[in-house]
Structure formats: C-alpha cells, structure tokens
Amino acid sequence: MIYSKIPFSATYRHIYSAGKLKSVGGVTINFNGRNINFMTTHFDPYTASYRLTQARDLVTYMKGFAENRIVAGDFNDQPGNPPITTMTAAYYDAWAEAKKAGVAYSPPDNPNGYTRNSRIDYIFYSRGERNLTLKKVQVVETRSSSGVMPSDHRPVVAEFLVQ
C-alpha cells in the first residue's frame, strides 16, 4: 500500500508471471516539478526461482515508466542472491548507497540494517534518475521497552532530495 500527502497523478498495478505473491503496485506523483514513479512489491516468500522471475519481470516493467523510479518492498532474498543482483544491476540499493555515504542509520545492535533476521526489505532507485539525491536511510527500531515488535519486519525509510 502506498500513502502520500501528495496527490497521485496516476496509479497502476502489474501481475508477475510466477509466484504466490505476484504483483507490484505503483503511483506517479509530481513533487517539486518532477514526476516520481513509486512502486511497492512483495516477492514470493517460498521459491527462489519465482523471486528471480519476479525480479526480471519487475525490471522490465519498470523500464516502461519515466525516470525517476523508486521501488520498495519485501524482496525475500539476500543482497548477493540472483533476485537482488538482478535489481541492483538496474537500480541502486538505497541502504548500500547510504552505508557508503555514511548516511545509513539503524539501532546500535543492528549495524547491518537487518529488517528481519537479515536484509530482505529494500528500497531501490533507478540508476538513470537525474533529480533524486539520497539524503539518508534508516531502519526504524520498533521494539517496545520489553523487546516486543509490532511486526516481524522493521521498517526501512529513505529520504530523497528532489531537485
């Protein structure tokens, strides 16, 4: 689901060719005179080959939208595995870029930005964009003082400057 204070210029949805969780949803917003295509997805949690097919489908589908493109979601895979390397061949991994730039933040006991038991939730933004500057990425701590989390995932938040 996508929430925004900024009105949507367009909404869209695409069904992947494989997997149990099989869709990507998106919106176009206009901010600071720039169109931003923002999408969210949830890759198949059970089968790696389905996730790879979904990654390939997603990269192809997103090429049909103008820059600037951002996609976020539960990709259910590790940074070095084929579904994620398929994504990072075409898109920047916001957490990895923020780590390199020194603007990645997470709780002290979670220096690698794990969102579950590892990194399976990502924000990717297109390599061809010209108007987005990554300002920071944060993995938000949601544990209560007794250590209880409201979800089995921690949220990932990326902040971009739109020029």
Closest to 106 in 3D by CA, of 141, 135, 72: 141
Q: Do 154 and 138 touch, CB atoms closer than 8 A?
A: no
**Residue 87: per-residue pLDDT:** 98
Provide φ and ψ at 88, rounded to 5°: -75, -10
52 sits in which H/E element: helix 48-62
Q: What per-residue confidence (pLDDT) applies to 153?
A: 84
Rounded distance between C-alpha atoms, residue 41 and residue 75, angstroms: 8
HEC secondary structure over 11-25: EEEEECCCCCCCEEE
Can you list the domains of the chain with their CATH numbers? 8-162 (3.60.10.10)
pTM above threshold 0.85: yes
pLDDT tens string for the chain (163 positions)? 888 999 999 999 999 999 888 899 999 999 999 999 999 999 999 999 999 999 999 999 999 999 999 999 999 999 999 999 999 999 999 999 999 999 999 988 888 998 888 999 999 999 988 899 999 999 998 888 888 888 888 899 999 999 9
Note the pLDDT tens digit of each residue in 86-120: 999 999 999 999 999 999 999 888 889 988 889 99
Task: Decide if 100 contacts 66 (C-beta within 8 A).
Answer: no
pLDDT, position 37:
97
Residues 6+ apart with CB under 8 A from 53: 16, 17, 18, 19
